[in-house]
Chains A and B, each alone.
Chain A
Amino acid sequence: MAVAVRPALWDMKPPMSQPFSTPPPESFVRTFPSAPSAFFHGILGALSSMFFLVIGGTYIGMGALAHDFNLGAWWLAVSTVLVWAGPAQVILISALGTGAAPIEVAVAVAMSGIRLFPMVVALMPVLRRPNMRLRDMILPTHFTSVSMWVESMRLLPSMPRESRVAFSNGLSVGFMGTATIGGFIGYYLAGGLPPLFAAALLFITPLSFLISTARNARMFMDKLALVIGLVLGSLLTAMQVELDLLWTGIGGGTLAYLIHRLREARAEPQV
């Protein structure tokens, strides 16, 4: 793997394609008078995003899940702020709740978090501006998640660079606030609802994860990994194999990746 490690983050230069010295193009659609204004518009952007409903629903479901597994409402709120990744939180809640081995929980969470790595890699060049301090990049790095990433990559390029971090942070605070409040709502609803509606709340998590994973699956390989994961996950759980999530992920994911490589090799002309 060719990875160029830089000695210091603050020494990093922008990619060749977007030199900072170039004057901003005239085509910036949105400009903000100040950083607080950009931050505020970021919050508004989160509340009007389609992710608002998805996050609200997902975390209401997660609140019900946390209630079901006897984890506290405040514990869930802290996990939302610290972990800030729906899949990792669902794995954490269900694994802790069913008494899985700590090492399995940690490895499963770590495997689910790998997708954050390419997102940070792709997002930072969009957020960076000249003479940016490292501490200004810590917060956007922690905030990186599927929802924030998709909306940042969509909205930031139409803004001047000096507004981007503030806007993106506003977006993240809007999403995180929605998630935290949704968690509390789900938690307290789950305790007092008739069983059928409590069941429907619990059903939000797998349903929204199934659908949002399918929506993010653009390549054949992603769809294959989804199908293999569903089948393998069911089989290994039914057979009560230990560390089933790990085998599902590493085995199923590697299988999907290898099939994708084979298909690519066949499609390419013989050299």
Chain B
Amino acid sequence: MSAATNALWPYLLLVLLGFLPNEIWRIVGLVLVRGLNEDSQVVLWSRAVATAILAGVVAKLILFSTGSLAAIPLSVRVAAAAIGFLVFLVARRSAFAGVAAGEAALLIGGYFFAN
């Protein structure tokens, strides 16, 4: 492969595997915009699938971390996520408070227990 194709390859993957599969739903929404109820069964099911996929990604990134996050012990990562989530619940569902608390827990735990 030439240098130009090497440089363009990630962008081609971006369009084919990222942009098109995602954008299609926006276009379908624009085309079918009428006649579909927000709590129709298909919409409900697709929301459940989308939520489960996201949860799967979260679990993967926390439990099977890569790079510098992998140097933080698994127990610290899980505990920090749990602390962030609890603070989010306690702090009247404030996303910012939850993320800040989880990050603080990871930094403190990582400082004392890093591999």
Residues of A within 8 A of B (CB): 1-6, 9, 12, 15, 50, 53-54, 57, 68-69, 71-72, 75, 78-79, 82-83, 85, 87-92, 94-98, 102, 105-122, 124-125, 137-138, 141-142, 144, 195-200, 202-215, 217, 221-222, 224-234, 236-238, 244-245, 248-254, 256-257, 260
- The answer to whether A54 touches B96, judged by C-beta atoms less than 8 angstroms apart, is yes
What are 17 A-B pairs with beta-carbon distances under 8 A? A54-B96, A78-B11, A102-B13, A113-B50, A115-B25, A117-B46, A120-B30, A195-B71, A196-B111, A199-B106, A200-B110, A205-B61, A206-B61, A210-B85, A233-B52, A237-B63, A253-B52
Interface residues on B, range: 35 or more
Shortest C-beta distance, A28 to chain B (Å), equals 24
Chain B, residues 89-100, CB within 8 Å of chain A (1/0): the string is 000010110110
Chain A residue with Cβ nearest B32? A3
- The answer to whether B46 touches A118, judged by C-beta atoms less than 8 angstroms apart, is yes
- The answer to whether B58 touches A203, judged by C-beta atoms less than 8 angstroms apart, is no
- The answer to whether A221 touches B48, judged by C-beta atoms less than 8 angstroms apart, is yes
Q: 14 more A-B contacts (CB under 8 A) besides A105-B17, A211-B99, A250-B49?
A: A2-B35, A9-B31, A82-B18, A91-B53, A94-B61, A105-B18, A141-B29, A195-B68, A195-B114, A215-B95, A224-B48, A226-B54, A233-B56, A236-B56
Once bound together, how far apart are the Cα atoms of A213 and B98, in whole Å? Answer: 12
Shortest C-beta distance, B103 to chain A (Å), equals 6
Once bound together, how far apart are the Cα atoms of A236 and B60, in whole Å? Answer: 10
Is B3 part of the contact surface with A, judged by Cβ < 8 Å? no
Once bound together, how far apart are the Cα atoms of A214 and B88, in whole Å? Answer: 9
With A113-B24, A116-B22, A211-B98 as contacts: A68 and B33 at CB distance below 8 Å: no
Shortest C-beta distance, B36 to chain A (Å), equals 5
Q: Which residues of A contact B38 (CB under 8 A)?
A: 118, 121-122
Is B75 part of the contact surface with A, judged by Cβ < 8 Å? no
A-B contact count, CB below 8 Å?
Answer: 334
Q: Contact partner of B54 among A87, A92, A102, A221, CB < 8 A?
A: A87
Q: Contact partner of B107 among A112, A125, A200, A225, CB < 8 A?
A: A200
- The answer to whether A113 touches B25, judged by C-beta atoms less than 8 angstroms apart, is yes
Q: Which residues of B contact A97 (CB under 8 A)?
A: 66
The DSSP consensus for interface residues of chain B is helix
- The answer to whether A199 touches B110, judged by C-beta atoms less than 8 angstroms apart, is yes
- The answer to whether A114 touches B88, judged by C-beta atoms less than 8 angstroms apart, is no
Shortest C-beta distance, A114 to chain B (Å), equals 4
With A92-B17, A117-B28 as contacts: A249 and B52 at CB distance below 8 Å: yes
Shortest C-beta distance, A143 to chain B (Å), equals 9
Chain B, residues 7-35, CB within 8 Å of chain A (1/0): the string is 00011011111111111111111111111
- The answer to whether A226 touches B36, judged by C-beta atoms less than 8 angstroms apart, is no
Q: Which residues of A contact B57 (CB under 8 A)?
A: 87, 90-91, 94, 206, 209, 233, 245
With A78-B11, A207-B102, A222-B47 as contacts: A125 and B88 at CB distance below 8 Å: no
- The answer to whether B47 touches A210, judged by C-beta atoms less than 8 angstroms apart, is no
Q: Which residues of A contact B23 (CB under 8 A)?
A: 82-83, 113, 142
Q: Which residues of B contact A251 (CB under 8 A)?
A: 52
Shortest C-beta distance, A233 to chain B (Å), equals 3
Once bound together, how far apart are the Cα atoms of A97 and B10, in whole Å? Answer: 11
Chain B residue with Cβ nearest A107? B21
